Amino acid sequence: MSLRLFDTATRELRDFTPREAGKVGMYICGLTTQGAPHIGHIRFAVAFDVLRRWLETGHGYDVTLVRNVTDIDDKVLRKAAEAGEEWFALTYRNERLTTEALDALGVEPATYEPRATGHVPDMVTLMETLIEKGHAYAAPDGSGDVYFDVRSWPEYGSLSNQSLDDMVAAEDADPRGKRDPRDFALWKGRKAEEPESASWPTPFGVGRPGWHLECSAMARRWLGDEFDIHGGGIDLRFPHHENEQAQSRAAGLGFARYWLHNAWVTVKGQKMGKSLGNSLEVRHLLENTRPIVLRYYLTAAHYRSMIEYHPGSLDEAAAAVERIEGFLERAGRRGTIVPLAVADLPAAFVESMDDDLGVSGALAVVHDTVRAGNSALDEDDDEAALAAAGSVVAMTDVLGVNPLAPHWGAGGNGEEAAATVALEALVRAQLDARQTARQERDFARADEIRDTLSAVGIEITDTPSGAQWSLARPSSRGTTDPDSTNAAPGAEKAQG
């Protein structure tokens, strides 16, 4: 089965065919860096990281991924003014926090990560084209505002499946200069209370870009007039993505061929955001949760499904990760784990991933393989166990949750490998001594050995083929209550 993706524009599953054979251009709306990122913000990056990995690993495409940084907009200026600092200092600090969060969760770096403020000339060019084609106009009051004329583009509303007459007014600029209340701002003339550093000279007046114009200009700069996939959170479908598509196509650009949108992370049924007081910043969650556990949590649900966060959510993810880790540790003591070739991945795994990134089904295959591998170990079938381990490593690597990946501190160098061998020998000697004590019915001595191993973090499991051991994991269970004082507020606007 070929890769099929749910295209928001057509509202159906479509076979994915790239614009250029062997290559994929993908643009995803990154964060507006007005605040530190919470898991609701970061979900989009994890979801599209899985897509990128599957395009590259599962299908062999050369992917160019552009993830922008919106470092100037209304909320950025307001937050900076409230904090009494320069807007560019605020955005840069939060951009770094975002990068740290993405790195911690194993999200691969974008091919390009452009900032909006670095693409003003591209925006001016796009505005001039729209004005020439009769799809945009400068405000007649000389304010420096420039608007897109929504009635000039008959397809406006097609992405979000809305009729223009049913839409509310665009509240992104002073309506006095608009021909229609629903016209949206391409450019915003500088206001007296705004810092001079937040404005640029243009043929239309001094000012700054509108949010929607930024992404169209950056996508065109780095991916060309037409590209394959545009992604982002479902809350961006309207007005942001609707406006991006309208202004780009009205300018004569092919723009995105497929639109993909991920769902929210919710708390008590409500979208996560500062206004609800239920934000969970990534940096604070990682104080008590291992990064691979948080990554697994955000990966495990289908990207178009809502994730409901509750205090036990991360416990469930931690338990799943520990089952995988425990098996790989056991298998690794029987021989060398060789990752399965991509071409040999289990058919059920491939079918799930090709069906609109069905990660739930894919993870079910992972855990079925873990169970089969553990059974093989219990039966001393090392060959089958190591084959299962190689399959688990290959599948989890595609999903970004491979416990043996160097990113998570595993894989190691020669010294670490030697330490593992030494540890195995030492623990095995203790297990042999315990078995001897049990045979001699010296159960006090057997219990003492088990307690000694447990005290240093080594867990023992008795199986029909003998005792097996594994390292106890450091606490990775998420117990943060979103209503507690640990729930730090994050940025209000998710992406764009």
415-466 pLDDT per residue, tens = 444 555 567 668 878 887 898 888 888 889 888 888 888 888 888 878 665 7
Are 321 and 410 spatial neighbours (Cβ–Cβ below 8 Å)?
no
The predicted pLDDT at position 469 comes to 78
Residue 308 maps to a domain: no
Residue numbers in the chain where pLDDT is lower than 50: 411-417, 476, 478-494
Choosing from 262, 297, 318, the residue where a domain stops is 262
Cα distance between residue 227 and residue 143, in whole Å: 35
Going by C-alpha positions, the residue among 106, 438, 72 that lies closest to residue 282 is: 106
Residue 100 maps to a domain: yes
Residue 33 maps to a domain: yes
Point out which residues pair with 148 in neighbouring strands. Answer: 136, 184
How many Cα atoms sit within 13 Å of 21 on the Cβ side?
0
Choosing from 200, 234, 262, the residue where a domain stops is 262
Cα distance between residue 476 and residue 401, in whole Å: 15
CATH code of the domain containing 151: 3.40.50.620
Residue 460: domain span: 414-474
The predicted pLDDT at position 271 comes to 81
Residue 453 maps to a domain: yes
Structural domain count, the chain: 2
Q: Is 224 exposed, middle or buried (0-12, 13-18, 19+ CB in 10 A)?
A: middle
Q: Is 171 exposed, middle or buried (0-12, 13-18, 19+ CB in 10 A)?
A: exposed
The predicted pLDDT at position 278 comes to 62
Query: What's the length of the chain?
Result: 496
Residue 338 maps to a domain: no
Helix or strand run (H / E) with residue 13: strand 12-15
Cα distance between residue 285 and residue 486, in whole Å: 9
Cα distance between residue 41 and residue 273, in whole Å: 9
Omega cis (within 30) before 121:
no
Helix or strand run (H / E) with residue 450: helix 443-455
The predicted pLDDT at position 285 comes to 93
Cα distance between residue 71 and residue 89, in whole Å: 10
Are 346 and 298 spatial neighbours (Cβ–Cβ below 8 Å)?
no
Cα distance between residue 50 and residue 373, in whole Å: 25
485: number of Cβ within 10 Å: 6
The predicted pLDDT at position 275 comes to 61
* Cα separation values, 401 from 122, 294, 297, 392, 420, Å: 38, 10, 10, 10, 22
Are 351 and 54 spatial neighbours (Cβ–Cβ below 8 Å)?
no
The predicted pLDDT at position 231 comes to 98
Residue 94 maps to a domain: yes
Choosing from 229, 262, 295, the residue where a domain stops is 262
* Cα separation values, 156 from 91, 175, 250, 481, Å: 32, 19, 10, 42
The predicted pLDDT at position 437 comes to 87
Non-local CB neighbours of 219 within 8 Å, separated by 6+ positions: 27, 66, 227, 230, 244, 248, 255, 256
**Cβ burial 174-209 (10 Å sphere, 16+ → b, else e):** eeebbebebbbbbbbbbeeebeeebbbebebbebbb
Tokens 């505002």: give the residue. 145
Going by C-alpha positions, the residue among 104, 108, 102 that lies closest to residue 43 is: 102
Cα distance between residue 327 and residue 323, in whole Å: 6
Q: Is 268 left (phi over 0), alpha (psi -120 to 50) or beta?
A: left
Cα distance between residue 174 and residue 417, in whole Å: 65
Helix or strand run (H / E) with residue 364: helix 359-378
10: number of Cβ within 10 Å: 12
Residue 360 maps to a domain: no
Cα distance between residue 271 and residue 259, in whole Å: 22
Tokens 């394959």: give the residue. 228
Residue 124 maps to a domain: yes
The type of residue at 389 is A
